Amino acid sequence: MQNDRIIAFVMAGGQGSRLQPLTTGRSKPSVPFGSRYRIVDFVLSNLVNSQIQTIYLLVQYKSQSLIEHVRKAWTISPLLQNQFVTVVPPQMMAGEHWFQGTADAVNQNINLIEEHRPGLVAVFGADHIYRMDIRQMVDFHRERQADVTIAALPVPLHEASSFGVIVADETGRIQAFEEKPAQPTPMPVNPNMAFASMGNYIFNTDVLIKALHQTQQAGETDFGQHVLPRLLRTHRLFAYDFATNRIPGVQPYETQVYWRDVGNLDAYFEAHRDVLGAEPVFDVFNPEWPIYSSSYQGPVARVLGGQIENTLLGAATLVYPGARLRNSIIRREAVIEEDAVLDECIIMDYVRISRGARLRRVIVDRHNFIAPGDEIGFDRARDAERFHVSPGGVTVIPQGQVSYFARD
């Protein structure tokens, strides 16, 4: 009989290359999202809210910003020794190489599993915006007497080649799993959709340890490509349907089952629309399922004048008279000067938009200074000479070098 302890590995070592230039100096889980979060805050909040509070965050690529964020925001309890988020960098535990893939990353830290002796191990990605009560997935795993459970949801067939695609029977038992197939199998109930893995797994500990051992012996490295297809031949794998997950406090106007893989700049930009409006598709304010982030100690925003419409204002932001803000997200310590105009913009921390500047569909990364009267987002070709323009036409200004920030 398994014991009830669960530990989690959160995989936060991916490069996020399709989010460039937002990932030039940080990993994807560390990319800011919404008015005050980092992408990683969503999975960590889901785990903590689900009472899974022994959490190892496996990092690798450009991890300093993530490490700082975890240090400032994620002290769960100074008293309870088994409740923590600990950052685990590659330590060459299994030879002279970094983490070669997701399975290799967990394999290199197998000693942590042996130390805690949990009944179950949760292996979750760090790259998505969603709320999920993981206890419901664990209950499903136990009821089905599964060896491994994969969280899954329908995605449009034309997007399914970027995912692990599952074929399951009506009890959820997985019959086929293929990682990023060229020709994804459609769902029997809806031929326009495929049942995609969310990259979140629950393993029985003994099954995981044995599988990782075999994977290593075979020189393989990845859960989706290697571990899951191999286990499917001999073990009971189930798909947990995310559509059945229920979170308390979700408003009637919200999409009940919200999950976004903000894998590229356009998807990232679009997901921000979902947190705006009187009735946001994804309302981050849910006291029954809090999304935690850093406890910034600065002042609230100050609005001296201007016109502000459907806009989130982060802490210590200053808006001057004559500024016009619409459908935008402004993070902390930004200054929007007189007569500046922002339309559908994401302005990250420590940015000054000087007087008279006009920006439309622009993401301004941290530490930037936009010159007086500058116009960005109106001429794609001209923007592309100075900045980065996404395929969907969003201009992105990479993280700046403004080190001293004068507030006048």
Which one of 99-107, 270-278, 336-344, 383-391 is the stretch in contact with ligand ADQ (CB under 6 A)? 99-107
Q: Is 196 in the site for ligand ADQ (CB under 6 A)?
A: yes
Which one of 121-129, 211-219, 309-317, 341-349 is the stretch in contact with ligand ADQ (CB under 6 A)? 121-129
- Could you tell me the smallest distance in angstroms from the CB atom of residue 348 to ligand ADQ? 20
Pick between residue 11 and residue 247 the one whose CB is nearest to ligand ADQ: 11
Number of residues in contact with ligand ADQ under rule CB under 6 A: 24
Q: Is 101 in the site for ligand ADQ (CB under 6 A)?
A: yes
- Could you tell me the smallest distance in angstroms from the CB atom of residue 101 to ligand ADQ? 5
- Could you tell me the smallest distance in angstroms from the CB atom of residue 67 to ligand ADQ? 14
Of the residues 39, 58, 312, 318, which one makes contact with ligand ADQ according to CB under 6 A: 58
Site for ligand ADQ in 202-221 (CB under 6 A): none
- Could you tell me the smallest distance in angstroms from the CB atom of residue 9 to ligand ADQ? 9
For residues 158 to 187, the per-residue mask of contacts with ligand ADQ, x marking binding by CB under 6 A and - elsewhere, is: -----xx--------------x--------
Q: Is 319 in the site for ligand ADQ (CB under 6 A)?
A: no
- Could you tell me the smallest distance in angstroms from the CB atom of residue 129 to ligand ADQ? 12
The whole-angstrom distance between residue 15's C-alpha and the CA centroid of its chain comes to: 13
Pick between residue 86 and residue 251 the one whose CB is nearest to ligand ADQ: 86
For residues 1 to 40, the per-residue mask of contacts with ligand ADQ, x marking binding by CB under 6 A and - elsewhere, is: ----------xxxx-------------xx-----------
- Could you tell me the smallest distance in angstroms from the CB atom of residue 118 to ligand ADQ? 20
**Residues engaged in binding ligand ADQ (CB under 6 A):** 11-14, 28-29, 58, 60, 99, 101-102, 105, 125-127, 163-164, 179, 196-199, 224, 261
